[in-house]
Chains A and B, each alone.
Chain A
Amino acid sequence: MSKAIMDLTELLERVENDRELIRDLLLIFKEEFPRHLQALRDAVDSMDGEKVAAEAHTMKGMLSTLSATSAASAAARLEQLGRNRKVCEFQEAYAAFENISKKLLLQLDTCMAEVGG
């Protein structure tokens, strides 16, 4: 079984076991994240450093909120590359980020079930 991207135990601790809040956060994430991922993909394809940095910054925040540390780090790398306009590294960093994001999306339903959603 692959390693969990989201640390549900840490998140439960951080929100003082407020399972209803976690359910709300997961629902927002499921709704919003794919839209941001597509916007990031478009920004990477058009080599727009400013947009890459802005989208990656937003997604880094969302992932940190969910205690998805490794995914947040991958977003932080893209944000930095975008700020520094290192366009030649965009595709490789995006591929790594997309890979980890897909694993996280697969984990969400399990997390939702664990918090009673």
Chain B
Amino acid sequence: MRILIAEDEMMSRKMLQKTLERAGYEVTVVENGRQAADQLCPADGPRLALLDWVMPELDGPGVCREVRKRNAQSYVYLVLLTSKESKKTSSQDSNLGPMIT
């Protein structure tokens, strides 16, 4: 199974990539949200992605909005990762699609 990792910080990216590869996944890595959206929007793109919340170009919630808007063919599961300590989220944003926090 293919998984996309979008993370701008190199150490977290490396850690996630190695952990998932060890578990047998085929991993694609990108460094910002714009690259993530470009990978996920085509119908043959990865169907699962781990997205950093804070990223350059386009943040994690921004990637969710683009994917929900542009990819109508097949559902893409998006997991947002954050070390933010605030409990405020964008879970009320209907453009992000159904959300579990």
Q: Could you tell me which A residues sit within 8 Å of B by CB distance?
A: 15-16, 18, 21, 24-25, 28-29, 32, 57-58, 60-62, 64-66, 76, 80
Which residue, of A21, A29, A32, has the highest number of chain B Cβ atoms within 10 A?
A: A21
* Residues of B contacting A: mostly: helix
* Residues of A contacting B: mostly: helix
Which residue, of B9, B19, B22, has the highest number of chain A Cβ atoms within 10 A?
A: B9
A32 in contact with B14 (CB, 8 Å) = no
**A64 partner residues in chain B, CB cutoff 8 A:** 83
Partner of B12, one of A24, A61, A80: A61
Give bound CA distance, A21 to B11, whole Å: 10
- Min CB distance A13 to B, Å, is 13
**What number of residue pairs across chains A and B have CB atoms under 8 A from each other?**
38
- Min CB distance B19 to A, Å, is 8
Known interface pairs A57-B54, A76-B85, A80-B85; A62-B22 also in contact (CB < 8 Å): no
- How many chain B residues touch A (Cβ–Cβ < 8 Å)? 13
Known interface pairs A18-B22, A61-B9, A62-B9; A25-B85 also in contact (CB < 8 Å): no
Give bound CA distance, A50 to B79, whole Å: 26
Give bound CA distance, A24 to B14, whole Å: 8
CB<8 Å pairs between A and B, sample of 13: A15-B18, A21-B14, A25-B14, A28-B10, A28-B11, A32-B11, A57-B54, A58-B9, A62-B12, A65-B11, A66-B11, A76-B85, A80-B85
